[in-house]
Chains A and B, each alone.
Chain A
Amino acid sequence: MKRKKRITNRTLLLTAVIGSFLIMAMVTANSIWSSNQTLLETEEAVSAVSVFYLDTMADRRAQTVSNQISNEFDQMEKALAFIRDEKIESQEELRDTLGKIRSLLSLNRFALVDRNDIVYTQYTTYTGKSRHEFLSAKKMDDRIISTVSLYGSSKQLCLAIPTPDLTIMGKSFKACFVQIDIQDIINLLAVDDQGRTYFALYTKNGSNLSGTELGPVISNRNILEATKGLVSEEVWKENCDRFAEDARGSMTFSSGDVKGTMCYVPIPDTGWKLAVLIHESVISDQIRDISEKNLSTSRNQIVLSLLAVLSLSSVLFLELMALSKDKLDAEKKTSKAFQTMANTDSLTGVRNKHAYSEYEDAVDQKIQNHEIQALAIVVCDINSLKYVNDTQGHAAGDQLIKDACALICESFPHGAVFRVGGDEFVVILQEKGYETMDEALGQLNKKVEENINEDGVVVAAGSSVLQPDDRQLCDVFTRADHLMYERKSKLKALGAKTRET
């Protein structure tokens, strides 16, 4: 059979303290883990958001350029219609007409080209074959969009429309064109985003067309050359291929403390790429601010919760302690009552035979340990109890017992009185009771003898003291019991009633 462990107050206290620490450690660890996890997930979210944000922005800006090109072509068609309606007879009239077009349709540097590649603008007429690349083509069937790098490195977007049926001043004209300064396109795209993003236009080989800086790392250099080494060779080559094709893509790179995400999209029909870049710190700072506020709130809530749990635990612990103490006291009280009940004679109120047995065991141990030097036993027996019971009833008998007990207790105020049988009492005397035994016994005997004549309670008492050779209380008891019987005989002789009387 397993021995059942007893739960003590110390165990309970230790369990409560360790449990509380464990809970606090778990909550704290969970809080830290959650914080770190949140930051990591925030970083991932930032990358995803950056790409999505830039992709959308690049698309929007590329669409702006496309719309501008489309709008310019529409204006050029209107200009051609205007020219066809005019009756132009001389170069001066042609220049005037081109002037009107410029002011009416806001077409800067609108020009016509005749079959001999002579270019007509509002103020100038010049041979333009070497100057305008699109004129080198043997045949021009459709609209042409080309990039022109002017001497002095300024760049323009050239939009040309073939004009196969246009004849002015008897000359057949092959095309009209406009040249849009790329700076004008940049101005169109440079919406105010409070400097949070960068953008630039590129050719397919990565050359910067716009002259704008794509952030401090790439700056206005060739984007492919500038990003080499910032990303893995594989990623770089993949993006080089995408750049050369009409494909869109994105690249995230790190340079020192700067982490940037760049998206590029093709601008239809131009061969250009529009790239937009954002430093992740811009988004992450904002998201981090929000996250940190949330985390701070969570931390405060956790701390408050911990404090509340601790307070509640403390209160519960104290209440539990108090309840345990009350319960323990009650149990002690009950136990004491039970013990009292077990050791007390219900009739007389003195200790009973069971109590005597326990007392005897304890005294025996002390005798054997030589812890008791002086001890006496008085054995008392009530005379005529059976006679009273038989003749007057058990109530009278009980009363006799009570009276006898009262007499004994009264006679030995410093002794321990036990009712060890129906009519038998034992008084154990130690210390002062021992010292006064003879006097007490004398008074008892005197009273008993007086009671014989007054028909009062008669108790026969025999006493004995602890002898050096005694090994147990029983030895003393036996001697006292023997003397009690001798006294009983004497009392009979004095007229005391007996069992048979």
Chain B
Amino acid sequence: MQRGFQKLHSVILALMMMLVLVACPSASPAEDSREASPPAGSTDPAELPSGEGTSKEAAPVNSAVNFNHELDSYVPQKDHYNFYFTYKTVHPWWDSVALGMEEAQRQYLEKGIVVTYEYMAPEGASAEDQTKRLMLAEHRHYDVIGVDVADESVISPVIDRMVDAGIKVMTFSSSDAAAGCKRIAYVGNTHNYEDGADLTEALCEKLAYKGKVAILVGSKGAPCHEDRARGARDTIAKYSGMEIAATEYDMDSVDLAYTLTMQILKDHPDLDGIICCNMSNPVGAARAIKETGSHAIIVGMDHDQEALRYLNEGVIYCLGVQDCYSIGFDTLQVAVKIADGNQPGELFPEKTNEITTVIYQKDAAIMLELLYGDI
């Protein structure tokens, strides 16, 4: 009897071990990540096609920035090009764009084509400064001049005049010129309005569509910032429970973003959320939120390293990451085509669409490692 019981016990134990062994592989990171599923609106790995949502470096992080680019089959007509690019302000975001440009420059060099360029910006965003730079550049015989428009109302006429003077001008990275501007093409984010709307939608959902929020915008007149703010406002307007308490411009300054947020929090201590429309907004806002201990939820643009760290810490709820590396690579490639006298069409579009991916806290660490080696 006892021997029979021992046999039965052994069989049960063996079965249990087999079950445990069989069960082990199913406890994969993919399932863990599904348990911490992001809020609606994010790219859930579980919704991806088979195989894309199962690794550590899962989408959306993997697809947020594409570092693998090759020049297309276009054969440049010259062996040396010289460009001038000017962008809004000195900031790591545009350093990332520069890296993409340098990769394209390297690949051209491998083909025996030398591409030299200047890539210049002021310390603070300024349409006046940008105008001066353009006026200096137009007399220096660059093959193409590229502009990240600081203020569309100020810069667009300057561009028109330069184009009329026979200078090849393109716009790139974050901001296009005003509609109807004569610039030849634009390479960069073409969906700033949607980005603002998407981030605001995520915030509204998080707040259960009820709360008081503030909007931080970057530079006044900067099309990308204004478009995002407009997208944010329109989204808020859809929900009766949502209210915009304040809208402020930080002029692409982190310090100013911090100061403005502190003031907003002082004026509205019951603030529920902050919508940040540029790269400096979320960093300054996060500093203030962390300092005051406010429970306001931050959604914002871009992938400043400090912003990603705040995302990792949970101070920021989500970030819209633009693929600046691809923007830079494509900018230089389009510039070469424009320099050869090509117009938008088969060789390149009039507006090159670059992606924005909303990432949440669970992806922050991977993104930090992927982009900055911050591990």
Partners in one complex: yes
Chain B, residue nearest A150 (CB): B99
Contact status of A151 and B96, CB under 8 A, knowing A123-B105, A130-B90:
yes
Collect the chain A residues with CB atoms within 8 Å of residue B370's CB: 152-153
Tell me if B95 and A151 are in contact (CB < 8 A).
yes
Interface membership of chain B positions 36-68, coded 1 if the CB is closer than 8 angstroms to chain A and 0 otherwise: 000000000000000000000000000001010
Given contacts A152-B325, A155-B373, A208-B375, contact A123 B114 (CB under 8 A): yes
> Which chain B residues lie closer than 8 Å to A153 at the CB level?
369-373
List A residues 119-174 near B (Cβ within 8 Å): 123-127, 129-131, 149-155
- With a 10 A CB-CB cut-off, give which of A124, A127, A155 has the most chain B CB atoms: A127
Complex: A124 Cα to B99 Cα, angstroms: 12
Q: Are B67 and A152 in contact (CB under 8 A)?
A: yes
Q: Is the CB of A127 within 8 A of B373?
A: no
A95 at the interface (CB under 8 A from B): yes
Q: Inside 8 A of A127's CB, which chain B residues have their CB?
A: 90, 119-121
Q: What chain B residues lie within 8 Å of A129 (beta carbons)?
A: 90, 123
B side interface size, CB within 8 A: 31
Q: Which single residue of chain A is at the shortest CB-CB distance from B82? A: A92
Q: Does the CB pair B373–A149 fall under 8 Å?
A: yes
B194 within 8 A of A: no
> What residue in chain A is nearest B96 (Cβ atoms)?
A151
Cβ contact within 8 Å between B372 and A126: no
A303 at the interface (CB under 8 A from B): no
A222 within 8 A of B: yes
Q: List residues 61-83 of chain B with CB under 8 A from any CB of chain A.
A: 65, 67
Distance, CA A129 to CA B109, complexed state (A):
26
**What bracket does the count of chain A residues touching chain B fall in?**
20 to 34
Q: How many angstroms between the C-alpha atoms of A127 and B148 in the bound complex?
A: 15
Does B117 reach chain A (CB closer than 8 Å)? yes
Interchain CB contact under 8 A, B99 and A151? yes
For A207, the chain B residues whose CB sits under 8 A away are: 373, 375
- Give Cα A343 to B123, complex, Å: 142
Bound CA–CA A129/B91 (angstroms): 8
CB distance from B321 to the nearest CB of A (A): 12
B87 to chain A: closest residue by CB? A127
Asked if B105 and A130 sit within 8 Å, CB to CB, the answer is no
Assess A130 versus B371: contact at CB under 8 Å? Given A124-B118, A125-B120, A152-B325: no
- Is B340 part of the binding interface, using a Cβ–Cβ cutoff of 8 Å? no
B374 at the interface (CB under 8 A from A): yes
Whole-angstrom CA separation of A130 from B93 in the bound complex: 9
Which of chain B's residues have a CB closer than 8 A to the CB of A149?
372-374
What CA separation (Å) do A155 and B371 show in the bound complex?
11
Asked if A118 is at the interface (CB within 8 A of a chain B CB), the reply is yes
A124 to B369, CA, bound (A): 28
Binding site for B on A (CB under 8 A): 95, 117-118, 123-127, 129-131, 149-155, 207-208, 222
Q: Could you give 5 example pairs across A and B, Cβ below 8 Å?
A: A125-B120, A129-B90, A151-B96, A153-B372, A154-B373
Additional A-B contacts beyond A117-B90, A123-B105, A129-B123 (17; CB < 8 A): A95-B116, A123-B109, A123-B115, A126-B118, A127-B120, A127-B121, A129-B90, A130-B91, A130-B95, A131-B95, A149-B373, A151-B96, A152-B65, A153-B369, A153-B371, A153-B373, A207-B375
> Which residues does B use to contact A, with CB under 8 Å?
65, 67, 90-92, 94-96, 98-99, 102, 105, 109, 114-121, 123, 324-325, 369-375
